[in-house]
Amino acid sequence: MKVVILAGGFGTRLGEDAVAIPKPMVEIGGYPILWHILKGYAAQGFDEFVLALGHKADVVKRHFLDYDRLAGDIVIDLRDGKVAYRRQATEHWRVHLIDTGRDTLTGGRIRRLRPTIGGETFMLTYGDGVSNVPIHELLAFHRARGRLATITVVRPPARFGGVVFDAAEENVLGFAEKLQVNEGWINGGFMVLEPGIFDYLAGDADVLEVDLLERLAQIGQLAAFRHEGFWQCMDTPRDRQLLERLWAEGHAPWRVW
């Protein structure tokens, strides 16, 4: 089953971190967040990816063209110019790099992928969010509901951390990490879609959330898989710093490989 990743965003809210590169190529722990997403899917048995490229598509293409060569050791014989590659990368991924247009909107990007996806069920997620969503459970849920699409709904992280204190003595006991809020759900990505969704997409100006998901919801063809575990998008420099810290400390909940 193919996994579609929306990887054409500008990442304007990330500031200078995403000026020269597309948002999915911004690094966490020395690896693009796109790499983290692909690793998570592949660890659960889904290793064929379709990347919907747009802004600075060439950066993503070069990354994968050089992936094997630069991941291993290289021996260069300067006498004759021969190059030998040793200990090449061990990723067993098949990656389709599809340029879906610089200014095409999210729904339009998916529509342009129809020839690549064909008539099969496929996965879809954004190129800027990581999670420990159990993909096989998500797929089983989708199949059991029999809808055209299923989205994973998550509780968004709280904006600020909390203070733990003794109300009686007014002494601060410590500080709590930013936790997921107790109320409300949002679309966290990690979707499963049937090929019938293409009938609801008209052109490049279509927006995934409005022109597809809202329309499917109106006709009872959109299911919601609730995920209570970890989820975090990388929307701002603050988000990136959080993910960097979790990775550096060895406590990255999305690392399921």
Span 115-141, average pLDDT: 97
Residue 257 in domain:
no
62-100 tens-digit pLDDT: 999 988 777 778 899 999 999 988 876 678 999 999 999
| Backbone φ, ψ for residue 246 (5° rounding) | -60, -40
Quick one: tokens of 143?
Answer: 């199949």
Angle at 35 between CA 30 and CA 40, to 5 degrees: 120
Task: Tell which wins on pLDDT, 157 or 41.
Answer: 41
What is the per-residue pLDDT for 137?
A: 98
Identify which has the larger pLDDT, 168 or 231: 231
- Please identify which residue in the block is written with the tokens 């509901």: 145
pLDDT at 22 over 60: yes
Instruction: Encode pLDDT of 187-220 as tens digits.
Output: 999 999 999 999 999 999 999 999 999 999 999 9
Token pair of 201 as six digits: 């997409």
pLDDT at residue 45 greater than cutoff 90: yes
Contact 100, 22 (CB under 8 A): no
Q: Average pLDDT, stretch 22-45? A: 96
pTM, to two decimals: 0.87
Range of the domain at 180: 2-248
Domain membership of residue 57 (yes or no) is yes
For residue 156, name the pLDDT band (cuts at 50, 70, 90). confident
Cα 80 from chain centroid (whole Å)? 43
pLDDT at 161 over 70: no
Is 256 a domain residue? no
**CATH number of the CATH domain containing 32:** 3.90.550.10
254, part of any domain: no
CA distance 194 to 121: 5
pLDDT band at residue 180 using 50, 70 and 90 as cut-offs: low
Q: Assess contact for 148 and 216: CB atoms under 8 A.
A: yes
Contact 156, 230 (CB under 8 A): no
Q: How many domains does the chain have?
A: 1
Does residue 152 fall inside a structural domain? yes
Q: What letter would DSSP give residue 180? A: B
In a domain, 253, yes or no: no
Report pLDDT for 71. 77
Residue 177 lies in a domain: yes
Report the pLDDT value the prediction gives residue 187, as an integer from 0 to 100. 94
Helix extents (H) in 31-134? 33-43, 57-65, 67-71, 106-112, 114-117
Query: Does residue 46 lie within any of the structural domains?
Result: yes
Round to whole Å and give the CA distance between 85 and 68. Answer: 9
For 219-239, write each residue's pLDDT tens digit. Answer: 999 999 999 999 999 999 999
